[in-house]
Every structure is written in structure tokens, then in C-alpha cells.
Chains A and B, each alone.
Chain A
Amino acid sequence: MIALERRPQASTAWTWAAPLMAVVLTMIFGGLLFAALGKDPLVAIRTIFWDPLFGEFASFYRPQLLVKGAPLVLIAIGLSFGFRAGIWNIGAEGQYILGAICGAAVGLALYPSEARWLIFPLMIAGGALGGFLWAMIPGLLKVRFNANEILVSLMLVYVAEQLLAAMALGALKNPEGMGFPGSRNLAQWDSSVSWIDRSAGLHWGVLFALGAVVAAYALMARHVLGFQIRLTGQSPRAAAFAGVRPNRLILVCLGLAGALAGLAGMFEVTGPAGQITIDFNVGYGFTAIIVAFLGRLHPVGILLAGGIMALTYIGGEIAQNQLGTPAAAIQVFQGMLLFFLLAVDVLTHYRLRLGRKAPAPAPRPAPAPEAAE
């Protein structure tokens, strides 16, 4: 008989061991998945996790890690504030798209000016503002009408995708593009390009992501706002007693998440993507949810998790090219990672007891009668 017993205090060791164990379990079961597809599991795992870093063509793949990892980390950091406080913004993908549209629109409005000192900062502000405002829609609806932010933010992703298509085909379409959908290439315009060193994979988004990690760390560990966020997540009633205004916190958390996702979108469109196109978004906003949880909603954890997730993206592409694995396999792989993380996470708060039957819980919906010792 196996029984779960609640730990009096969450286990620190398991807090950090759980993500590692989830990665290992994902490797094992992912390997079995590849074996079932008729691929050599060891080769597949090596292709995904080893080759991008240390393989023959690693120098080509390593910069890609920065390119993929930066938006994931930037968005996940933003999401982590809300997730800590129990505010579930599932619509970062939409905020990312709006950040890209608004950032690009600000820049394109000033095309072909050469005043980069003015245009690029304006575009950054525009991107952040676009994501922020898009996140304010679920925020205000939640505060005003208690609308569920999960549903509203998620549905707004699909609205944002339609808007993206409309922009790529309409307002932002390249007038010199010979009728092809898509905006001008912002990565080729000196005033708007976000690349710093393209061959190293370094663009402004990478620096912002690192800055966000440091700022988030300081905010969560030391700032009153971070304390209030953690307190709200732990016990909303204690937070109200401590003077937290819940509605303000909802708007702050959603706003931060939106602004950071918007920034990620803006740096993407002026760098790796280059232009607003119909298929500009590739799911970073959703994958970032996994990154946030895999990183324990902790800034440093998110940085590492973003790296691992970027690795699976790149490794997955290599596996697709070299081993012929289906594209969906890598998504299954990422899904497994979240699944195992949530499963292993139980051990952070509970311990396993083997053997004799554990004391039965109270039979009725009773709060356990612990008060009368």
C-alpha cells in the first residue's frame, strides 16, 4: 500500500529536485516514444539534448539557443508574477502578437527615417504598451465584472491572431512587397533592427530577458510588491489583512506579463522574424507557461528552464531533419515535461509512505479537528 502524507513544510530539496527529475523522466519516456516510432531512443535523446550544445555543428546551433530562449524567458518571467499570485494569464501569445504589431506599427509609421536613437526606443515602448493594453482587457473585465481571466485571455489569443492576419494583409503590408502578404523587413532597416550580433544570436531581446531575470529576482525577493504577490498567492485573506488591494494587484500582474510579452514580440519582429507575417507567432506564449512552471516560478529557475525548452526546440528540429521524427513528437515531448513536472511536484508537499495503511482522512467534508488538542 502506498499512501501520501502531507509534509508540514514544503521540502526544499524536492522543490529543486522535482524539475530535474521531470527532465530525466521526460528523457526516459520520450525515449520510449521514439523507440515506438522505430527510432533508436539513445540517438534521439542525444540528438535533442547533446548535439545542439556539443555536437559537430554546435557552433551553428548555440546562437539559436539565445534566439529561442530569449522570448521564452522574457514571457515566462512576466507570467510568473501572476502565477505566483494565483492570477492565470494564459493569453501571453496574444500579448506577444500585439507587442509585435504595435512595435512594428510605431516604427513603420516613421519609415524611412534614420533617427534610430528615437525610433528604436519608441518601438520598444510601443511593443510594451501594446502587450500591456491587450492584457488590460482580461484585467479590467476581471476587476470590473469578475470575468474569468483564463478564458478571456485565452480567447483574446485567437482575436490577436486574426488581427495579425489583418495587419499582415492590410495596414502593415509592405507597399513595395509586390502584393505578397507581410510587412517591410524590420531586421533590415537600420533604425529598427534589434540584432546586436546576428552570428552570435545576440539581440536586444536577449539583454532584456537577462535584465528581466535580475529585476524579477530583486522584486520577488526584496520588494514589497513581490512580497504582496507571494502573499496573495499563499493566502488571499492574509494579503487583504496585510493591506494588499487585490484588484490593483491583478492589474499590476497582468500588466507586467503583457508588457514583457509585448517586448518579446517586438524584439522578435525586429530581429529573428524580421517582419509581421500571418504565421509570425509560433507558440512562445504558450510554451512560456511550461517554462514558468518548470522554473518553479523563480527567476533563476525560469532562466534555466528557458534554456532547456529552447534546447528541445532546436534539438527537435535536428531530430526532425536527421532522424525523420514527426514534428508533433517534439510537442509531445514538451507536454510530457510539464506533465511529469506536475506529477513529481506532489512530492514537494507530500511524502510517500509505504507499507501499513496510513491514518484515514476525516470521512466528511470536515476541516480536520485539530483545534482541540
Chain B
Amino acid sequence: MSDALLRLDGVTKAYPGVVANADVSMTIRPGEIHALLGENGAGKSTLVKAIYGLVTPDRGRMTLMGRPYAPHDPHAARAAGVAMVFQHFSLFDALTVAENVALGMEDPPPFRTLAARIREVSETYGLPLDPFRTVGDLSAGERQRVEIVRCLLQDPKLLIMDEPTSVLTPQEVAILFETLRKLSAEGTAILYISHKLEEIRALCESATILRLGRVVATCDPRETSARAMAEMMVGGSLHVPARDRAEPGAVVLRIEGLSAASPRAFGTSLKDVRLEVRRGEVLGIGGVAGNGQDELLAALSGEMTAPRGLIFFEDHDVGPMGPDARRALGLLAAPEERNGHAAAPGMSLTENAALTGRVREGLTRRGFLDWGRARGFAASVIETFDVRTPGTETAAGALSGGNLQKFVIGREILQRPEVLVVNQPTWGVDASAAAAIRQALLDIAERGAAVVAISQDLDELMEISDRFAALNEGRLSPPRPAAGLTVEEIGLMLGGAHDMDVAHV
């Protein structure tokens, strides 16, 4: 094919013990929006890293616009016309938009020119952006615009986007798709990585599906059902979580008007948050990242204590209690960030099991830890949640993201919580493991526990929640029954339309 923008021929990359890419061949045409699909560990990341010059393939050839292409670092890739927007933004909070853009450029023009260019490009593509605003004050969607504009200023031929919609509201997703379609119409090809199959069906013209490092299928997403694509990714049929919806029981967790400053710089303060969760119920809390999710979790886990009279677990005023006292009562939590928050990456799984399991699993005797029992507890988490690890003494940081996620969620679930608060429970976890985690959350709810699930994945929340509320700039909307909510309604809740409630107070 002479009309290919980028061709991959037999690209192979092996790491010790694992073949990340085996003989991958694919073609991207100019102006095409091409989806790259696969479960976690299927090799998507390694493949785009190879294209972006972060990884050198062991074998295979790449051809860009008819010329051999072998970037040895991202500078070379950018010079050749390949740009990438990472899932995690690499921006400095304390600098302005223009300063951040200049930092990422090989040869930044004078500041005034750059600011003008940023305005021009951002407006052309429908991504309004003020070059002089401080990045720390921007929403996640706006930050993504900074990253995209930074790429567009280099006039790329191929734009790689890694999970771009995970931090966006449905409305912001629509704007992003408009931008991408416009770019595509102008001849820029887009390699689009996402787990959200409906989005891919709406946006992409072709898709390459990877499984265990190999290309297992290609398809036209517009003509393939999401379920069919998911099954091609998994290589089998997909388990959809289910449960018998029980009548909700008594209120077990109550927050009565909690306002609290974020402990972090550029964090979001909680503003008059009120909620009630009943036994047997899953309360889903949606919201775009950075709208107070971390703070809400910290307020419930006990990392951030509150004055008396604001947070109640049954009849206990738990506000002033620290994490251990709350755990003793049965209020457990699993934070979003696995490495360094939910788990200590340098410590073994046994030690990480003791990290939260100490109180409820009786792992201490007179102040001394019983490592034998801790090991047993770790082993049961590993077995019950199918954590792939050589053993309990492996460092948590050596596990893949999805496996560690299974471990940290499983660790809380096995402690028989009365209330479990999770933030992004299936973030970065592949489809079948995500289904298992959701099923486990539903199972404990059925058993009579209350679950507060904070997530940015709306599909996930709709799948498991009984009621749904949205966090926006630290305010929580009044929860509504999840059944029957439309995407538009959810979008408005996420975008803060409940501000109207505040207005007439």
C-alpha cells in the first residue's frame, strides 16, 4: 500500500519473561482515526512507545511516509511528525499554560508569539485556552487541551492519544471528538487508545485489536458491536456483573454538611457535602478528576479528620477518628492511587496486607505484628482475587497495575467491611478483572454492606450503582436513583448544574 502514513511490519519487543509485542503489523492511513484496542498487558502501551521512540523494538520495521522510521528517542519522533498525548498529564501546576507549552517545545518562539499561536491554534480547533492562566487552576479537560495544543503546535502527521476521555465529562468528550474529526479531515492521522468501546464506535474508522502482544483482529468499529469487540479483546465471552437488587436497609454512613479545605496545594476543598448510604446499597459518585474525589475519600478513610457532628457511622461520630479507629468499626477505604497511597511499592505484599488489615484481621498481638498471619491474609487475597504474583514476598511495586489493583481492592473486601469506600476501583484494570472487582463490590452490598464507589467511568457507575451523585468543584449533587438517568442528565450533574440548588439557598 503506497498510501500508508505509518506501516508496522513484524514489530517485536520482548522484556525479560514477557513478550510485549509479537510480530505486530498494522497500517495507518493519512487522516484516519485508528483505534488500538486490547486488555491491560496486551501490549498497546509498548507498541505506541515504540512508535513514539520511547522503546526500541527488537525486530521488525516501521515505515513513515514511505521512509524507514526508527526513532531512537521522542525528539526524533516529534521531528518526524509523530506527537503523543499521554493519559497522565506532564504539566507544572505552578506555571502558566504558555510556559508549560514552551517547556515541551524543542525550540520555543518568543513568548508573545507563542501566546498568540496558542490562542490561534486553540480557537481553530475549538479548544479555547487562555495562555496566561496558571495550570493549577485549570480543570482536567482544560489541562488536556494544553497537552493537545502543545502537540498541535508541532503540526503532527500522526497524533497518538492514550485514554483521552477518562478525565472528561460527556460534553467535553463531544468537544474533543469534534476537534479530532477536524484534525482528521485536515489529514492528520490519529491513533486512539481507549477502553471505552462505545466511544470508539462513535469516532474511529478502523481498529486493530491486540491480545497477548499479537494482532488478533482488525475491524471497522462502526460496523462491529461493542460486545463483539470486547470478546475479541478478551478472547472469550464476557461476564457481566449481576445481582439481585435487595431492599436497602438502615442508614449506616451519614455526612452532614462537611466542608473541608484540601490538605494539598491545588487540591479541591469539599463544600457542604451531604450524603446518606444505606446497607445493601451502592452509591455511585461520578465526577471529572480533581473535583474533590481524593478529598472525599480522605475524609471518609480518616486520613483527613473532621470536627464532631459531621460524619456518622451508625451512631458513632467518626469525624475526629483516625483511619485505624474507623477500620475497627468497619468503615474501610481503597484510594485511587495504588503506588504510594493504597500500597507501599517497595514493601512486600505481606507487609502491604498488614498495612490496612492489621486492625480487623487481628494481625497484632500486644503491639507486635504476627507476620505469619499477615502472610496468610495476603495469600488469601492473592488467591481469592486471582492476583498474578510469584508470591507473598514480592514487592507491591513489581506487580502490574491491574494486579496490584486487584490486591488492594481484595484486601479491603476480605476484611468484611460494613461500609467500603472505593475511588476508581477498576482504573487500569482489564475487562475481565474489572468485571470481577465490580461483582465483588455488588456481592458485599448484597451481603448487607454499603458501598460508596467514586469513579470517573460512568459506564461502570451505571452498571453497579443504585443511586448516583456527582462531585463538581467539591460540591456533591443530591443523589438520584441511577436507573433511568440519561447521559444528558448525568452530564449536567457532572458539569455542576446542581449549582442551581445553591443559588436559591
Q: Which residues of A contact B (CB under 8 A)?
A: 8-10, 218, 222-225, 227, 230-231, 234-235, 237-243, 245, 357, 359-360, 362-367, 369-373
The number of chain B residues with a CB under 8 A from chain A is 64
Judge whether A371 and B371 touch: CB under 8 Å: no
Contacts A238-B340, A360-B54 known; list 20 others, CB within 8 Å: A9-B394, A224-B367, A230-B351, A234-B346, A235-B344, A237-B337, A240-B323, A241-B323, A243-B323, A243-B359, A245-B322, A360-B72, A362-B54, A362-B90, A365-B103, A366-B88, A370-B45, A371-B427, A372-B163, A373-B45
Judge whether B355 and A372 touch: CB under 8 Å: no
Which one of A10, A234, A364, A373 contacts B44 once the chains associate, using CB atoms below 8 Å? A373
Which one of A218, A222, A241, A365 contacts B371 once the chains associate, using CB atoms below 8 Å? A222
| Surface stretch bound by A, among B113-121, B396-404, B478-486 | B396-404
Q: Per-residue CB proximity of B27-68 to A under 8 Å, as 1/0?
A: 000000000000011111110010001111000000000000
Q: Per-residue CB proximity of B313-327 to A under 8 Å, as 1/0?
A: 000000000111001
* 22 A-B interface contacts by CB (under 8 A): A9-B395, A9-B398, A222-B368, A223-B367, A224-B367, A234-B345, A235-B339, A235-B346, A238-B340, A241-B303, A241-B323, A241-B355, A242-B355, A242-B358, A357-B72, A359-B54, A364-B104, A365-B90, A367-B88, A371-B427, A372-B44, A373-B46
Q: Give the secondary structure class of B's interface.
A: loop
Q: Per-residue CB proximity of B324-351 to A under 8 Å, as 1/0?
A: 1001000001010101111111110001
Q: Give the secondary structure class of A's interface.
A: loop
Judge whether A224 and B358 touch: CB under 8 Å: yes
| Interface residue B132 (Cβ < 8 Å from any Cβ of A) | no
Which one of A223, A238, A362, A373 contacts B355 once the chains associate, using CB atoms below 8 Å? A238
Judge whether A235 and B340 touch: CB under 8 Å: yes
Closest B residue by C-beta to A10: B346
Assembled-state Cα–Cα distance A10/B104 (Å):
32
Which chain B positions have C-beta within 8 A of A242? 323, 355-356, 358
Which chain A positions have C-beta within 8 A of B90? 362, 364-367
Judge whether A372 and B45 touch: CB under 8 Å: yes
Judge whether B54 and A235 touch: CB under 8 Å: no
**A243 and B45 in contact, given A369-B87, A373-B40 (Cβ under 8 angstroms):** no
| Interface residue B267 (Cβ < 8 Å from any Cβ of A) | no
Assembled-state Cα–Cα distance A359/B13 (Å):
12
**A231 and B355 in contact, given A223-B368, A242-B323 (Cβ under 8 angstroms):** yes
Which chain B positions have C-beta within 8 A of A364? 90, 103-104
Judge whether B400 and A373 touch: CB under 8 Å: yes
**A370 and B401 in contact, given A243-B323, A362-B54 (Cβ under 8 angstroms):** yes
Assembled-state Cα–Cα distance A277/B334 (Å):
57
Within 8 A of A (CB), among B278-323: 301-303, 322-323
Which chain A positions have C-beta within 8 A of B266? none
| Interface residue B162 (Cβ < 8 Å from any Cβ of A) | yes
Closest B residue by C-beta to A360: B73
Closest A residue by C-beta to B399: A8
**A373 and B401 in contact, given A360-B53, A363-B75 (Cβ under 8 angstroms):** yes
Which one of B340, B358, B397 contacts A237 once the chains associate, using CB atoms below 8 Å? B340
Min Cβ gap B396→A in Å is 9
| Interface residue B92 (Cβ < 8 Å from any Cβ of A) | yes
| Interface residue B111 (Cβ < 8 Å from any Cβ of A) | no
Which one of A218, A230, A369 contacts B347 once the chains associate, using CB atoms below 8 Å? A230
| Interface residue B497 (Cβ < 8 Å from any Cβ of A) | no
Q: Per-residue CB proximity of B353-364 to A under 8 Å, as 1/0?
A: 011101100001
Which one of A8, A359, A363 contacts B398 once the chains associate, using CB atoms below 8 Å? A8
